[in-house]
Structure 1
Amino acid sequence: MFHTVDGLRGIAAIGVAMLHMRILFPTVWYLRGGYLAVDLFFCLSGFVLAEAYSARLDAGFPLSVFVRKRLLRLWPLYALGLTIGAFMTILRIAFGYDSPASLISFIPALFYVPWDGPLGELYPLNFPAWSLFYELVVNILMVVIWRRLDNRTLMTLIGLSGIGLVVSAFMWGSLNAGFSWGGAGVATARVGFSFFLGILLWRMKPAPSHLGAWVPAVLLAVALMVDGAGVPRAVTDLVNVMVVFPVIVWLGAVTRPHGISLLFFEAIGAASYALYTIHMPMLRLLAMFISKVMHIPLDTVPYAVCLAILAGLLTLAWFLNRIDITVRARLDDFLKKGVQQPAGNRAPV
């Protein structure tokens, strides 16, 4: 239904991947505000989950069933990203670059339990997973308070989070924080503001428009690229998150791609979540291979090669999404059979 929204999610995921690629490959041109894609993810999540679950939550949808469905949706690719990160760490241990203690966070992380990495990371083996932790927490909070989540309460939550957002932006100099324990306050403000704003936007019932779907897509790309020379980064970030992104989400909800544009939006939208969950451990694995095995300095890797790596990751993510759909369907069937099987039909223990 919301194909433009899917495309926006794909563009945002590419922006995050380019930003993190820059950490390892200095020749890469990147979107200066790529980290703000997380705020867009939160806003889109609030909008889409309100659309998908509002009627069921109004009817008393059980929290346990909701949590099972969300875990089923998020966990397989999340676990894959952690596993790739663990594999890369095992190789680093084997070559003497890391100690075995680097793997200690793996088991807790599989259960979404955050850790404390060398830089305070919640998820040292795949640090972008921090946003998935906050995503799951705010999803559960939404269900718990849904019956009391009228528009006044929604506006209060958005307002309080907005104050925290402004304070955080000027304290940190930007909104590029949240992956560590030290940035927990920033992360809470980011997810609280954008997620509940997404629900509010859904309640405003946007009507279809004749605008092209590329309008919000281009607007998003420009918003993530803007450097804001002469303007404090905190101000640029706040304008994007509090003004520009809500407009983009609204336009994404009211526009529809057609023809080749529809195919493109569907493709990058399908790859978006897998790209987000695997890109960092895969990039670190590739960087280690290039520098330690091929003995090529990372700051000399041509820009064209970096683009080819990004294209390869995007293609891999698309295939992983197809596999993930099958895996989730089978897991869902298995869990349903386990729940629905009458006690008398179960094998004795």
Structure 2
Amino acid sequence: MSTTTTVTTKPHYLILDGLRGVAALMVVIFHIFEAHSTSHLDIVVNHGYLTVDFFFMLSGFVIGYAYDDRWGTITTGNFFKRRLVRLQPMVIMGMIIGAICYYYGESKLFPMIGTMPVWQLLLIMVIGFTLIPVPPSMDIRGWQEMHPLNGPGWSLFFEYIANILYALFIRKFSKTALAILVGISGAALLHLAVTSPTGDVVGGWSITPEQLYIGFTRLMFPFFAGLLLCRVVKISHIKNAFLWSGLLLVAILTMPRIGGADHLWINGLYDSLSIILIFPIIIYVGAAGAVYNKTSLKICKFFGDISYPIYITHYPLIYVYTAWVIDNKLSFSQALPQALLLFVGAIVIAYASLKLYDEPVRKWLVKKWGN
């Protein structure tokens, strides 16, 4: 979709693609273990939910890198077309997979499924294609999600909001104005995390006032901090950048819950400091590295290719797996074969969706709409 020499000659941050893939795989692992937890205090890969905040920051950095110097050659409409071409086909695929899996999740955990007529399922699927959120009154699962066929759609909804804010307003901000916005957003994020009744930043998936507040707070700092990072840092060179940044990211996400039930604010502080301080370091290190051998290049490219497809298609499998685990009261060791099958299956579905659907559809859309 590149149209200018400036874009095609820019170095590509291949390691950032690899980090996105690492984060996406960690999301799948987090959700598998979540099915076996008794509460938010004992989930293995306990901070896997922070991948959403990492994705937001990475998106802000990449959007700034790709578009900040291009507004003399592209229009706002062209920008929105490009973002739709990049994101929307897999949104649709995720909703289709969610609809296919829906009735297989009927269980004690999701008693509403057994009462839902097919027409209502199809209506929610079509609405989901647009990413327009549905209110709790239209929920067909019981979790009050804005996208009950594919829960992670909520973060794409907020991703689009960030893109709209960037294209219409914030791209014009000076570095100082952007820094002020990021500072205010960081303070709001810190306040949300340490005062949260659950001791974390989890939330944003419903259009209730409380959940919308969480969603916007989780969006504003990381996305626009990523944009600010792109504008102000001078990238140097760091050896073994993929190794160090990847290990640091995994360490942050797998950190056990801290503070316990008696000191929830401690875990909230960990969440906020991870987003505000550690994630920018990870992205900087990833951007400062280079890939020199074919094996590393293939790994980073593969991880980058499947990162978005696996994120947006895996959760319908999690619904079914979670319902099965709860109904049968299975421990992780008892469900290990199925958990491994889910993990591998999620990768296969993501890669097949990418190659057989997403890439051909995006290529067709580019030809139809023009570069």
After TM superposition, the score normalised by the length of structure 2 is 0.82
CA-to-aligned-CA distance 1:87-133 (integer Å, 9 cap, x gap): 2225568x972422455432222112101233331111111110000
Deviation at 1:78, TM superposition (A): 0.9
Instruction: Please state how far the C-alpha of 1:228 moved relative to its aligned partner.
Output: 4.9
- The answer (yes or no) to whether the contact 1:5–1:249 under 8 Å persists in 2 is yes
Tell me the matched-pair count.
333
Code of the residue aligned with 1:233 in structure 2: it is N
Aligned-pair Cα RMSD in Å = 2.7
Equivalent position of 1:47 in the other structure: 61
CA distance in 2, matches of 1:319, 1:332: 21
Query: Which residue of the other structure, out of 294, 308, 313, is the alignment partner of 1:278?
Result: 313
1:81 aligned onto 2:98:
no
Aligned match of 2:280 = 246
Does structure 2 conserve the Cα–Cα contact (< 8 Å) formed by 1:81 and 1:278? yes
Quote the offset at 1:315 in angstroms. Answer: 3.1
Shift of 1:170: 2.3
The structure 1 residue matched to 2:224, chosen from 191, 196, 199, is 196
* 2:133 aligned partner: 114
Q: CA deviation at 1:277?
A: 0.5
- SS of residue matched to 1:55: coil
SS state at 1:130 partner: helix
Determine if the alignment matches structure 1 residue 123 to structure 2 residue 155.
no
1:29-58 deviations in Å (ceiling 9; x for gaps): 74111000011101110111111111222x
Match in the other structure for 1:33: 47
Tell me the TM-score normalised to structure 1 length.
0.87
CA contact (8 A) 2:21 2:303 kept: yes
2:258 counterpart of 1:258: no
Counterparts of 2:122 and 2:187 in 1: how far apart (Å)? Answer: 38
Structural mapping, 1:284-323, within 5 Å = 284-285=319-320, 298-299=330-331, 301-323=334-356
Specify the alignment match of 1:178 in structure 2: 204
Give deviations 1:70-101, integer Å, cap 9, x for gaps: 111111111111111112225568x9724224
In structure 2, relative to structure 1, the CA distance for the partners of 1:148 and 1:178 (3 Å cut) is same
Native 8 Å contact 2:44 2:256 kept in 1:
no
Describe the shift of the 1:20–1:148 C-alpha distance in structure 2 as closer, same or farther (beyond 3 A).
same
Equivalent residue letter for 2:363: A
Relative to structure 1, the CA distance from residue 120 to residue 32 in structure 2 (aligned partners, 3 Å threshold; closer, same or farther) is same
Please, which of 77, 80, 84 is the counterpart of residue 64 of structure 1? 77
Superposition deviation, residue 305 in structure 1: 3.7
SS at match of 2:314: helix
In 1, Cα distance between equivalents of 2:36 and 2:186: 35
- SS of residue paired to 1:31: coil
| 1-structure distance, mates of 2:64, 2:121 | 39
Q: How far did residue 229 of structure 1 move? A: 3.2
Separation in structure 1 between the aligned mates of residue 341 and residue 104 of structure 2, nearest angstrom = 24
The answer (yes or no) to whether the contact 1:267–1:318 under 8 Å persists in 2 is no
Is 2:246 the counterpart of 1:220? no
Name structure 1 gaps, 5 residues minimum. 338-349
Question: What do the CA deviations read for 1:135-192 (whole angstroms, capped 9, x no partner)?
Answer: 0111111011145311111112111211221221123221111112232112111111
Question: Which AA in structure 2 matches 1:179?
Answer: W
SS of the aligned residue for 1:174 comes to coil
Native 8 Å contact 1:164 1:186 kept in 2:
no
Once residues 184 and 205 of structure 2 are traced to their aligned partners in structure 1, the CA distance between those partners, rounded to angstroms, is 21
Deviation at 1:298? Answer: 4.6
CA contact (8 A) 1:92 1:98 kept: no
Tell me the amino acid that sits aligned with residue 265 of structure 1. Answer: C
2:268 alignment partner, one of 226, 230, 234: 234
Query: Are the counterparts in 2 of residues 26 and 299 from structure 1 also a CA contact under 8 Å?
Result: no
- Counterpart among 7, 11, 15 of residue 4 in structure 1: 15
- Other-structure match for 1:346: none
- Identical aligned residues as a percent: 29
